[in-house]
Structures are given as structure tokens and as C-alpha cells.
Amino acid sequence: MEVPHPHHPTHKKKWSEYLLEFFMLFFAVTLGFFAENIREHLAEKNKTKELLEVVAKDFEKDINSIEFHIKFNDYRRSICDSLDSLLQIPNDKIEQQLYYHLMLEFPHMSKFTSFSKSRNEAESKGYFTNNNNLELANSIHMYNYFNGELDAFFQTEMNTLSNYIDNKYYKYIDPNILRKGKGLPKKGIPYKMGIKKISDVEIKELRVLLVTKFDIIDYERQLFDSLNFYANKSIQLIEKEN
């Protein structure tokens, strides 16, 4: 025998209930959208902060390297000054050890290499181009400019010295004496007064080369001072922003 089941009348929603449900759903979706945007914004802000902190640390590494190169440039300048003074003395009055020491030292160079990986990454992400970073962007732009100038002058000096060593160097030295000052074990160049005769024309050529080297070294010193200034300024701006 079939048992009859009572039928409950279905509640018919009013239009106001549908409207309320729609607004609640819309509000929940909108709230979720804004929450996700805020989360992404905070995550991006943290990434920016972390990357800029690495940029600041790389600038600190650059500053240490710059200080080394400034000292090395001062040393190079002193070597060139000493050699230039020595070349103005008669050949038979020049100390052989000192002369060969200076001739071996004055071509030495050291290329400055910036720790630029983090800076390049930050630049590619546009961290230095938005309106809030104009001062930092300008500081880093100037740093990159002077770093490029330094690279160009290093190449100029290297080309000048390569041409000199290929074509002129052995006019001013005795290879047999020079060999004694190189290699292992080092015995050193014997002390004696007087070096091989160098013509007045060749001495003048070498002194002109030294003058060119003076100019390059002095300008490189100015570039290092500029790099030091803008590296420190960039660090201060990053610390201020973070």
C-alpha cells in the first residue's frame, strides 16, 4: 500500500532576495579581486625591496674595488713620474736596477669591473624608471655613464701600450738583462750604473708616451671619484626608499 507524502509548498523568492544574493556574490568577487591585487602588490614591493638591497650591496663591492683602483692609479702615476725623471739623466748616470724596475712596472694596468648583474636586472624590471625613483634613476644613469667612460679609456690605454710594446719597447731595454728580472727563481737585475745607449729621439718618443699615460691616468682618477660619488649616493637613496 502506497503511503502518501505530504507536499510542502515551494517558497517563491521575491525579486529583492535575488537582488540581495546578486550583490552579495558581486561583493565577494570584487573583494577577492582587490585582495588578490593587494597581495600581488605587496609581493612585488617585497621583491623590489629585496632586489634593491642587493643592488646596494653590489655598489658597496664596487666602492671597495674603486678604492683599490684609486690607490693603484696613484702607484702607476708615481712610476711614470719616476721614469720620466730618470729619462732626463744621461744614460751612464742611470741606475740599471731602478730603470728596469720602472720599465717593467709602467705598462701595468688593471681593469675595473663593476658588480652590475643586480643593477641590470632591476633596470630591466623598470625599478629605476617610475616616477618615485627619478633621483635614483638619475644617479644610476650617471654611474653607468662614468663606468662606460672608464671602459673606453682603459681600451685607449691598452691600444696605446700594445702598439708601443709591439714596436718600441725593445729600443729601450737589453733583453738579456730583462730576462734576469723575470721568471722563477728570480735572481734580480744586477746593480750597476749606466744602461744601454738610448737616442735622444727615442727618449723623446717615450716621454711623449708617458705624457699620454699621465693624461689617461689622471682622467681615470676623476672617473673613479665620480663613480665613488654616485655609488654612495645610490646606496643612500636606496636605503632611504627601503
Series of mean pLDDT values for 10-residue runs along the chain (242 residues)? 52 62 67 63 70 92 96 94 93 90 87 91 77 81 94 87 75 80 66 88 89 89 96 91 72
The answer to whether 202 and 171 have CB atoms below 8 angstroms apart is yes
Residue 129 covered by a domain: no
Alpha helix positions (H), the chain:
15-86, 96-105, 117-124, 134-167, 175-180, 200-241
pLDDT value, residue 113: 93
Residue 31 covered by a domain: yes
pLDDT value, residue 184: 52
The answer to whether 99 and 151 have CB atoms below 8 angstroms apart is no
Q: What is the DSSP letter of 193?
A: B
pLDDT value, residue 1: 47
Cell numbers for 215, please give them: 693624461
Domain residues for the domain of 59 are: 18-107+135-241
The answer to whether 154 and 109 have CB atoms below 8 angstroms apart is yes
Cell numbers for 219, please give them: 682622467
Residue 121 covered by a domain: no
Residue 120 covered by a domain: no
- Counted domains in the chain: 1
The answer to whether 194 and 91 have CB atoms below 8 angstroms apart is yes
Q: What are phi and psi of 14, to 5 degrees?
A: -85, 160
Q: How far apart are CA 19 and CA 22, in angstroms?
A: 5
The answer to whether 66 and 115 have CB atoms below 8 angstroms apart is no
